Amino acid sequence: MKSILLTGGGSAGHVTTNLALIPHFINEGWDLAYIGSQKGIEKDLITQYNCVRYYSIPTGKLRRYFDWRNFSDPFNSLKGVFQSYNIIKSINPDIVFSKGGYVSVPVVLAAWMNNIPVIIHESDTTPGLANKLSIPFAKYVCTTFPDMGYIPTKKHIYIGPIIRDDLKKGDAKFALQICDFKDHKPILLIIGGSLGSKIINDIIRNSLDELTTFFQIIHICGKGNVDNSIHYNDYKQFEYVTNLLPDLLAIADLVISRAGSNTIFELLSLNKPMLLVPLAKNKSRGDQILNARYFEQQGFAEILYEEDLNKSNLKDKTLSVYQNKNKYINNQKKFNFRDPIQQILELINKEAKI
């Protein structure tokens, strides 16, 4: 039986591509294993598949700022390399597929040490730090965007965005029942990322009087961030959704979202008008800003930069996106989606040591 080891984690964006591929691997009869962190969101997302064996390793976060944990985390990462090496030695996969995130670096290095071929996927316009560290040990790097100057040409394969098959199968009637919404007002969906965004959550909640005048609101606010003291008929909160997401997307007339590549390409595939609030430069490497600017230049979305986020700008920008929704939808329909899943499956089958 063909065997593949998957890795990636730290945030949902480093797991969703694996979630899109797993059903295809199952259909093709692959034996599946996954290495993730001990407490990351990837464990909850992956273990929904009983046929995927999940292994936890200690990890060290790759921070670009001062933190006392920066002194101890390298030892956790080194321990993660040794544990990954032993796991890989034990299960002997034919290939490793890495989605990135700090948990992936020890796995990729351990795979290289075991002489197992590695294929990496990079979603953003520039590689994240974890993928930068991993690229020298990988055979190929598959990308969502065509222009990736950092990646050696001989390793770079442009495949386009990978979209989960189930996203277009949402049940709008079921979602309306769950939210207890009617069809008298448009529905605004807010996605702050799998871990939530305090600044977006606070601004949205402080703007509910104004926003609920125009919209019914679904707010995905992140784990532990539901505020049960808020009671509006046109406001529904969720911590984080997985199986329910296609249903909620089915009823969304527009979306306010962070600008992680996986999320916004999924919204693009569903022709959802978007207001993007990218993570600020001082909180990231700036990848979300580049993603958002690409979408704005293509006429797919509007941007509201985090440093400009306030009640007035939020309301004005949201109404602007809704009033111009047909323009955005028409532009989005012109985007040529490739068949990246089939392409990556063919590449994995070709490069697996079988």
DSSP string, 294-328: HHHHTTSEEE--GGG--HHHHHHHHHHHHHTHHHH
pLDDT of the residue at 70: 52
What share of the chain in percent tops pLDDT 90? 69
pLDDT of the residue at 229: 94
Q: Which positions ≥6 away from 202 have C-beta within 8 Å?
A: none
pLDDT reading at 68 higher than 80: no
pLDDT of the residue at 170: 95
pLDDT of the residue at 224: 84
Is pLDDT larger for residue 2 or for residue 62? Answer: 2
pLDDT of the residue at 73: 57
pLDDT of the residue at 143: 93
Q: How many CB atoms are closer than 10 A to CB 8? A: 30
pLDDT of the residue at 84: 95
pLDDT reading at 295 higher than 90: yes
pLDDT of the residue at 350: 94
Is pLDDT larger for residue 307 or for residue 183? Answer: 307
Cα angle 287, 288, 290 (rounded to 5 degrees) comes to 65
- CA 116 centroid distance within chain: 26
pLDDT of the residue at 44: 85
In this predicted structure, which of 36-40, 83-87, 177-181, 242-246 has the lowest mean pLDDT? Answer: 36-40
When pLDDT is cut at 50, 70 and 90, the band that residue 62 belongs to is low
**Domain match, 145 and 232 both:** no
**Domain match, 153 and 209 both:** no
**Domain match, 155 and 80 both:** yes
For 28-41, b where at least 16 C-beta lie within 10 A, e where not — what string?
eebbbbbbbbeebb
**Domain match, 124 and 58 both:** yes
**Domain match, 7 and 153 both:** yes
**Domain match, 118 and 22 both:** yes
Q: CATH number of the domain that 294 lies in?
A: 3.40.50.2000
List strand residue ranges (DSSP E) for 221-253, in order. Answer: 235-238
In this predicted structure, which of 96-100, 157-161, 240-244, 272-276 has the lowest mean pLDDT? Answer: 240-244
For residues 275-301, average pLDDT: 88
Could you tell me whether strands 216-220 and 235-238 are parallel, antiparallel, or unpaired per DSSP bridges?
A: parallel
**Domain match, 206 and 263 both:** yes
In this predicted structure, which of 281-295, 300-314, 318-332 has the lowest mean pLDDT? Answer: 281-295
pLDDT of the residue at 191: 93
**Domain match, 63 and 185 both:** no
pLDDT of the residue at 284: 67
**Domain match, 53 and 177 both:** no
State how far the Cα of 216 lies from the Cα of 305, in Å rounded to an integer: 23
**Domain match, 235 and 303 both:** yes
State how far the Cα of 159 lies from the Cα of 96, in Å rounded to an integer: 18
Domain count, the chain: 2
**Domain match, 344 and 329 both:** no
Range of the domain at 48: 3-163+338-351
pLDDT of the residue at 79: 86
State how far the Cα of 239 lies from the Cα of 198, in Å rounded to an integer: 13
pLDDT of the residue at 269: 95
For residues 159-171, average pLDDT: 91
User: How much is the mean pLDDT over the chain?
Assistant: 90
For residues 64-73, average pLDDT: 52
- pLDDT 10s digits, 212-249: 999 999 999 988 889 999 999 999 999 888 889 999 99
**Domain match, 9 and 115 both:** yes
When pLDDT is cut at 50, 70 and 90, the band that residue 71 belongs to is very low
pLDDT of the residue at 186: 97
